Amino acid sequence: GVPGVGGPTALYDHQKAVLACQCLEQVVESRIRLGIIWAKQGRIYLPAMSTTNTGNTPPTPTPTTTVTPPPPPTDVMQQLSPLENLGLGCLAGIGTKLVNYPLLVWKNQSQQGLPLVFNPKLLYRGLTMACINLGGTTAIQFWFVGLFQGVFKREGQPLTPTQEMGSAFMGGLASGVPCSMLELTMIQQQRFGGSIAGTPTRLVSDLGMRALTRGMLPTLGRESLYTMAMLGMAPVMQRELHTTYGLQPDVALGVGALLSSVFSATLSHPMDTIKTCMQGDVEQKKYPGALGTAKVLTAEYGVANGLFKGLVWRIALISTTFFFVNKFKVVLAPAVFGDKSEDKEVM
């Protein structure tokens, strides 16, 4: 026959072409599969491939289409007005205190060196005042925190973690004034009984108006750290643990509440102990001013047992408060004020 036509050389060339096409097909198929996997993992954006193929020309990819990733979760308080935040804080605070009030009683009794009570008639004495206290102070904290969040927020941009915690710190500082007077009434009720109106009336009648400011300075310091952790650190940690590490929202909130409560409780506990002792002894029979109270406690019990007395009870109290306040605000906000999430995930 004619050399090069139908002979061994032509057959060899044909086999090489078939093998090359098969290899090219396998490479393209593997790349497509890998691209699909990576696209699902969010590592790349998968380009659309053209289905036209003329001759031996390999498929030509079309330009990559850009897909905008979903926005990060937003704190629900940033979606509400100041008045709505005020109402939301009140509801969240009351609901929380109805759940964990015994922890507050045992914490106060432990700090004052009093025996723990378990009789429900004595254990729940002062509950109404405690609900008014936490509901009122949490409402004020929500209002001020939402106000400062509006100051720091820029159009179209979510708050940074630093801005969230700074807003919470300032809101807590402002809430310390009413919180101090409400807790003074509650602690006096826990020790001596009396009505909500009769207790402050008795204090003013016996000691003057200045009695209502008893323990206010340490309360301001405590509330600023407390609120920064509750409405700043806890939700920031929750979002980070949920979005980055894939924890379920409630699990992430529980971890964030526990970690932030350990931080804030340890730093602010000496102020809380001093405040509690001062407000339990308004007549100053044992505890004088803030510094004097600290000296009495350290001299009688030492630093650890004096200034940090009742820390375990307070960590239990604060961690449950952080969890339930942040949980209630997410659940109650859309139920009471409607859905204002604007298709964004809120926490």
* pLDDT confidence of residue 244: 92
* Sole residue written with tokens 């919180």: 179
The pLDDT value given to residue 48: 47
201 DSSP β-pair partners: none
What is residue 9's predicted lDDT score, i.e. its pLDDT? 59
Report the amino acid identity of residue 339.
D
Count, residues in the chain: 347
Report the distance separating Cα 93 and Cα 131, nearest Å: 7
CA 204, 268, 141, 213: dihedral to nearest 10 degrees? Answer: 10
Query: In the structure encoding, which two tokens stand for residue 11, read together?
Result: 């057959």
Q: Which two tokens stand for residue 251?
A: 């699990």
Per-residue pLDDT of the chain in tens (347 residues, 90 and over written 9): 444 445 555 555 666 666 667 766 676 676 666 666 555 555 544 444 444 555 555 555 555 555 554 555 677 888 888 899 999 999 999 999 999 999 999 988 888 888 999 999 989 988 998 898 889 889 999 999 999 988 888 877 888 999 999 999 999 998 899 889 989 998 999 888 888 899 999 999 999 999 999 999 999 999 999 999 999 999 999 999 999 999 999 999 999 999 999 999 999 999 999 999 999 999 999 999 999 999 999 999 999 888 998 899 989 999 999 999 999 999 999 999 887 655 455 56
Helix then strand then coil, in percent of the chain rounded to 5, is 70, 0, 25
d(CA 121, CA 96): 20
How far are the Cα atoms of 15, 110, 284, 334 from residue 292, in angstroms, in the given order?
98, 20, 10, 48
How many angstroms separate the CA atoms of 147 and 202, rounded? 36
pTM equals 0.70
DSSP letter string, 244-313: TT---HHHHHHHHHHHHHHHHHHHHHHHHHHHHHHHH-TT-SS--SHHHHHHHHHHHHHHHHHHTTTHHH
Q: What CA–CA distance (Å, rounded) separates 285 from 303? A: 21
- Per the CB < 8 A criterion, the answer to whether 169 and 227 are in contact is yes
CA contacts within 13 A on the Cβ side of 18:
6
Residue 271 confidence (pLDDT): 95
